[in-house]
Amino acid sequence: MISMALKDWVSANSNKLLGHTIVQKWGSDLPFLFKVLSVRKALSIQAHPDKDLAKVLHKFMPSAYKDDNHKPEMALAITHFQALCGFITLEVHIVLDNVPEIVQVVGSEVANQVFDTTNADGEDKVKSVMRLIFTQLMSATKEIVTTATTKLKNRLHMENQVRQLTEKEQLVLELERQYPDDVGVMSAFFLNYVKLNPGEALYLGANEPHAYMFGDCVECMATSDNVVRAGLTPKHRDVKTLCSMLTYKQGCPEILKGVALNSYVTRYLPPFDEFEVDRCHLSQGESVEFPAVQGPSIFVVTFGEGIIYTSNLTGDINITQGEVLFVPADTEISITSASELHIYRAGVNSMFFQVP
């Protein structure tokens, strides 16, 4: 048997495997990537560029940004899942009142501009102030950050003796333990702390800050490796690019609950053409069909075992936890569980095919 990478096989047979509509839109490569993440240590504070910025970054810094595509993504929780995502709606001066160490880092001049601004001044003004203070914080020297995070840690440990710390304060202490003296520890105060239950999903558009904190999820994204990092990481940081690219839009991110397709399958549709995700849970002995679609699909088995039958193959295929299957376009499949079975499917967003 000759082995071949999926990318090479798809490229050599793109019209047959991807479907003509997909090849016309995205070429001879899969338009999405699909993975399972198990987060035990916080991942970096980051954002993904839009298409225009991705082209610029790839042109001028190809060693750091290896392609020119955007990277919208979605995380679907398998277990309870925690993340930081987007800027809080709370007036920024309240954060400064409660976290004096941030004032120490950004300086009194910047802090005073924050204190003089309220949400009543309008969205553009609030965004401008958020940009100012976040950029000042993330650009601070290592020495200033180290001094401030040490003071923050010591203060919170002392206050924990006389009061219950907030969830965000508890998270910040955990981040400081994982990444001592990192500016990302303090920046967490400006970001929404999101907790997903199993079966809930979070999607992330271009130029929005986020970081995954803890838990297991399946993650789907457009085909790209463009990540701009600025905190909670030993990897390359590009603070200037990150702070300049963010939208500074405030508000809690939308949590997708999914739409039931039948008794076993729930579909999650983010506002991106490149992908959708189906979550399928079967009890032992149950069966479900996945109708043929115009694009390719990838299935990931996260729990249990079963049997899969496709319209393009003769015979059954046994599947078990940890296996990944590629299903070409226009292929109907059915699955029967041999035990409790959890399986996830990623494919091109079905709404894409409905556009006239």
Q: Which residues pair with 211 in a beta bridge?
A: 84
Q: Is 345 in the active site? A: no
Query: Catalytic: which of 177, 229, 237, 279?
Result: 229
Query: What are the C-alpha distances in Å from 43 to residues 38, 67, 140, 333?
Result: 11, 21, 21, 36
Residue located via tokens 């070409």: 328
Interacting residues of 185 by C-beta distance below 8 A, sequence separation 6+: 149, 152, 172, 175, 176, 179, 231, 232
Query: What are the C-alpha distances in Å from 280 to residues 79, 267, 292, 334, 345?
Result: 15, 9, 16, 12, 8
Whether the CB-CB separation of 45 and 171 falls below 8 Å is answered with no
Distance CA 133, CA 300 (A): 42
Distance CA 68, CA 193 (A): 30
Catalytic positions: 229
